Amino acid sequence: MSPLASTWVEDPVNEPENPTNSTNSPPPPSRKNPVWPEDSILDDFVRLARGVSESEDAILIGSILPITAALLARRVFIQFGAKKYPNLYNLIVTKPGLRKSTTINFADYIAKKLLPPSSFISGASSEQALFKSYLPHPDKIWLEDEGNTILSNWANDAAGKIVAKRMLKLYDCGGWLQNYIRQEVENEDSKAQQLIPETSTSFLIGTTWNNCRFNGLESRDGMRRRTSYYIGEKYARRIDWPETLDSKAMAKLIQMFGKLLKLEGECQLSPDARKQWTHIQKHNREDIESITGVDASAEAHGSALSEEPSRILKRAMIFEACRWAKNPSRKWQIIQADTLALAAEHESYCIQSSLDLETISARAEIREIADSILAKIHRMDAPNSDGWFMLTRSDLVSNFAPHPDRKGAMTVARLYNEIIPDLTKRGLARLAERRGKLEIYGFKAEDA
């Protein structure tokens, strides 16, 4: 048992439903926590992290995996057409207040004890500044516990959009060539063309429902395909007064993860794992071919499935290395069938989370738009004596859906089928009167 076991409670806290996550859309199905090898240092991390974080285990394991990938960097690989490295893009997604920052910072603490400062990226950056940081040290990890700002920068800032596109290429760990024409002009001895032959990038970003699907990015589909999602919707335990970490337990955990820095070489599948891989690939193709929808959810599912085999191999390398770190008698270079099975099951969780987020994100987006429209109504006129603003259907259409044919504009159907029903469910709107074709809607004032 963890030396911090006395600081946490096993039973989950029954948290009331958050009204901000409810609309007409049905809630996503309950998902299980992702699996990991229990005979590994990953399990040691989860057990210790439970003493400092109230987050669900999905958030805990999702936070440590990119750290582990960064520790292995490009020293460990598997030949899958070309060299496949274990780098990961992980997004930790919760509503505000569910301790994602606490968990990410705990994993970050381990990373900073083992990796040099030049390994880390954070905050907004231009592509040129990013290239200069990669030039002397091409193995990087990007850590953001409050990632809404960086995701917004990638979506809306001109320099950020270029960085977002670069992130697609960095995931594949290829080379990076830059031409600095100005540098050549200013200094005859400088080379205009500079090349980084190979890179390795992992990221761990914490965000909320509204931003997690990379909406607004030109490279949205590519980022969704490359990103693994870990979702937290409730507290897993209650920690009334966190105790100081057991320094010996923490030092031992850091020492165990530090063993990964010694590994170097090529991984291969065992004969049994190779047979299992054939079945994994077969089921992956069947799942892709079974997608018949043409909406955003179907496209996102197809994108996630196309990257599924690659991510399974990445996690299999990580899982086997972490099992070796706990038991050095294992041959970390030979991925066993049970390790591959755990990696495949873990990836299934991430695929399901990606699907669930389509529903959750849509609900969050509806709520955000509904609140914005209500705020505009509050500024339009004075409420009646009962504290309600009264608008006819024509008023609503002319003010909030005047150009329904424009790309991305509010449509009349969405206004009446999604936005107003959301406000009605929360008691902020109602159909006040209907006389023939005339419909009058009431909207509650702020202080009513």
CATH 3.40.50 residue ranges in the chain?
A: 5-12+30-364
pLDDT the model gives residue 2: 34
In the predicted structure, residue 19 carries a pLDDT above the cut 80: no
Q: In Å, how far are 159, 404, 411, 419, 442 from 437, measured between CA atoms?
A: 50, 21, 19, 21, 16
Say which range, 190-194, 229-233, 393-397, has the weakest mean pLDDT.
Answer: 190-194
In the predicted structure, residue 247 carries a pLDDT above the cut 60: yes
Arithmetic mean of pLDDT, 434-442: 91
In the predicted structure, residue 441 carries a pLDDT above the cut 90: yes
pLDDT the model gives residue 31: 57
> Quick one: DSSP state of residue 417?
I
Say which range, 325-329, 335-339, 364-368, has the weakest mean pLDDT.
Answer: 364-368
Q: How far is 440 from 391, CA to CA, in rounded Å?
A: 6
State how beta strands 334-335 and 200-207 pair: unpaired
Q: Which of 14-18, 182-186, 329-333, 376-380 has the highest mean pLDDT?
A: 329-333
CATH 1.10.10 residue ranges in the chain?
A: 380-444
Closest CA to 341 of 316, 369, 378, 372: 316
Tell me the CATH class for 380-444.
mainly alpha
Closest CA to 418 of 25, 1, 16, 41: 25
Q: How far is 402 from 239, CA to CA, in rounded Å?
A: 51
Q: What architecture does CATH give domain 5-12+30-364? A: 3-Layer(aba) Sandwich (3.40)
Arithmetic mean of pLDDT, 218-228: 88
Residue with tokens 């409670």, as numbered in its chain: 9
Q: How far is 104 from 124, CA to CA, in rounded Å?
A: 18
Would you mind telling me the total number of residues written for the chain in this entry?
448
Q: Residue 83 in 3-state DSSP?
A: strand
Q: Choose between 110 and 246: higher pLDDT.
A: 110
Q: Residue 333 in 3-state DSSP?
A: coil
pLDDT the model gives residue 294: 67
- Give 232's pLDDT tier (boundaries 50, 70, 90): very high
Say which range, 17-26, 197-206, 294-303, has the weakest mean pLDDT.
Answer: 17-26
Q: Nearest-5° angle of CA 185, CA 189, CA 194? A: 80
| Structure tokens, 7 | 């600081």
State how beta strands 89-94 and 227-232 pair: parallel
Residue 445: phi and psi, rounded to 5, are -70, 160
pLDDT tens by residue, 22-76: 333 334 444 578 999 999 999 999 999 999 999 999 999 999 999 999 999 999 9
Arithmetic mean of pLDDT, 278-299: 85
- Give 16's pLDDT tier (boundaries 50, 70, 90): very low
Say how many CA atoms lie within 13 Å of 56 toward its Cβ.
20
Q: Nearest-5° angle of CA 326, CA 91, CA 307? A: 85
Mean pLDDT of the chain: 87
pLDDT the model gives residue 25: 39
pLDDT the model gives residue 7: 29
Percent of the chain's residues with pLDDT above 70: 89
- State pTM to two decimals: 0.78
